[in-house]
């Protein structure tokens, strides 16, 4: 049964990454602006992070959905969700009101602070799903099961 829960965890987290990255990919300038709005990174690396983030999100998402290199993708996913929780908590604590930019958009939003608890809760739930997928990378319907099949000595004879 836990293999089915692992499948659900990786498909949900992976699906969120694919959607988030696909929405941001066509407008790299907006993605850069969203990263800049957090005011957490040095200005010199904001453009690189803003442009690469949607690509990383899509790659991690696809790996999770198809179950390819699942443990590594799930660890990267968990680290990204942790970074986003910290980022949102940081702007909330500093009184900055911005759209999180999680699914496109970003930048100043006077009503954004009311969304922070929901955004943090969502990202914590997805962080838990990612940690579960990293803890149990061998799940149903995963390419890893075909590509990295474990054989015992008796099977090899």
Tell me: the pLDDT tens digits for 58-99? 999 999 999 999 999 999 999 999 999 999 999 999 999 999
> 144 near 137, Cβ under 8 Å?
yes
pLDDT for the residue numbered 151 = 62
Query: Tokens 């997805």, residue?
Result: 126
CA distance 65 to 59: 10
Q: What was the pLDDT predicted at 149?
A: 75
- Give pLDDT, residue 68: 95
Beta bridge partners of 34: none
The pLDDT of 126-148, averaged and rounded, is 90
CB atoms within 10 A of CB 75: 17
Q: What is the model's pTM?
A: 0.90
């Amino acid at each position: 049964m836990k293999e089915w829960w692992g499948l659900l965890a990786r498909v949900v987290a992976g699906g969120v990454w694919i959607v988030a990255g696909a929405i941001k990919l066509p407008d790299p300038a907006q993605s850069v602006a969203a990263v800049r709005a957090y005011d957490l990174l040095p200005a010199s690396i904001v453009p690189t992070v803003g442009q690469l983030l949607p690509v990383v999100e899509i790659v991690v998402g696809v790996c999770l959905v198809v179950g390819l290199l699942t443990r590594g993708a799930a660890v990267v996913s968990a680290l990204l969700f942790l970074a986003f929780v910290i980022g949102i908590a940081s702007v909330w604590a500093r009184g900055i009101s911005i759209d999180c930019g999680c699914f496109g958009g970003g930048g100043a939003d006077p009503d954004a602070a009311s969304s922070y608890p929901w955004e943090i809760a969502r990202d914590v739930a997805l962080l838990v799903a990612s940690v579960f997928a990293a803890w149990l990378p061998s799940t149903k319907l995963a390419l890893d099961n075909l590509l990295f099949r474990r054989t015992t000595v008796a099977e090899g004879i």
